[in-house]
Amino acid sequence: MRFINRTQAGRLLAKKLAKYANRENVVVLGIPRGGLPVAFQVAQALHVPLDVFICRKLGVPGQEELALGAVATGGVRVINDEIVGLLGIPQERIDPIAAVQQRELERREQLYRGVRPPLQVRGKTVILIDDGVATGSSMLAAITALRRLEPARIVVAVPVAPFSTFERLRQEADEVICLDTPEEFYAIGQFYEDFSQTTDEEVCEFLRRSGHPAARKVA
């Protein structure tokens, strides 16, 4: 399957999520930046609130695609003790990595949300959306971080993921909706005709259009 752009992917994904429409206990969280155009279409179609869920992966030094943990919206910090122990990564190497990612998270929080607090997710069904996943490390970190906020149910929804990653996500999320799970997978962009980078300004615009009073224009 090949998508025209993230907007089309979001509309197609929304059809697969129709059972969640018009429910008061459902929220959609998009992972910035590329996940927001997809998440916006889903939230609009389902008539449910939209927010960002910012999760910054903490990559293993020299193997950044491998997540040793994550920092996320809501003041959440997660460390994968198994990975850290297996690779013998000392705390003094983790702290600087976490500090860099925490600063970037806070920058994005301020830009996208201002002083407005995150949507309350405790006890709710959360639909967590990105424009696709490859290795799944970032999404798995996001799921782990989101669990700390005690939602009732986590539904991961993405347009495309390798079948092996799809199977891994099914072990961690309560439900996974994926439009295409190809065996041959090189990069998310190969499944889009237009995969141009989503900007901070565009993220803020999607939030404004969804009714976020704090989303600001980027200078």
Domain extents in the chain: 6-55+118-209, 57-111
How confident is the model at residue 67, as a pLDDT? Answer: 80
Instruction: Decide if 151 contacts 126 (C-beta within 8 A).
Output: yes
Convert the pLDDT of each residue in 141-161 to its tens digit: 889 889 989 999 999 999 999
Secondary structure of residue 189 in the 3-state scheme: helix
Integer CA distances (angstroms), 218 to 2, 16, 96, in order: 31, 33, 28
Q: What is the dotted CATH code of the domain comprising 6-55+118-209? A: 3.40.50.2020
Q: What is the DSSP letter of 25?
A: T
Q: Is the pLDDT of residue 218 over 50?
A: no
Residues 13-46 have pLDDT tens digits of: 999 999 999 999 999 999 999 999 999 999 999 9
Dist. CA 166–CA 67, nearest whole Å = 17
Q: Tens of pLDDT along 42-87?
A: 999 999 999 999 988 898 998 887 788 888 877 788 888 888 999 9
pTM higher than the cut 0.85: yes
Q: Which of 159-168, 178-187, 204-213 has the lowest mean pLDDT?
A: 204-213
High-pLDDT (> 90) share of the chain, %: 68
Is pLDDT at 205 greater than 70 in this prediction? yes
Give percent of the chain above pLDDT 70.
Answer: 96
Residue 219: the pLDDT is 40
User: Token pair for residue 168?
Assistant: 């891994």
By CB atoms closer than 10 A (0-12, 13-18, 19+), residue 205 is: middle
| Predicted confidence band of residue 138 (pLDDT cuts 50, 70, 90) | confident
Residue 46 CA to chain centroid, in angstroms?
18
| pLDDT band at residue 166 under the 50/70/90 scheme | very high
In the predicted structure, residue 213 carries a pLDDT above the cut 80:
no
pLDDT bracket for residue 178 (50, 70, 90): very high
Q: For residue 167, what are its two tokens?
A: 């199977």
The pLDDT value recorded for residue 64 is: 81
Identify residue 117 by its one-letter amino acid code: P
Give me the CATH code for the 57-111 domain, please: 3.30.1310
Average pLDDT, the chain: 91
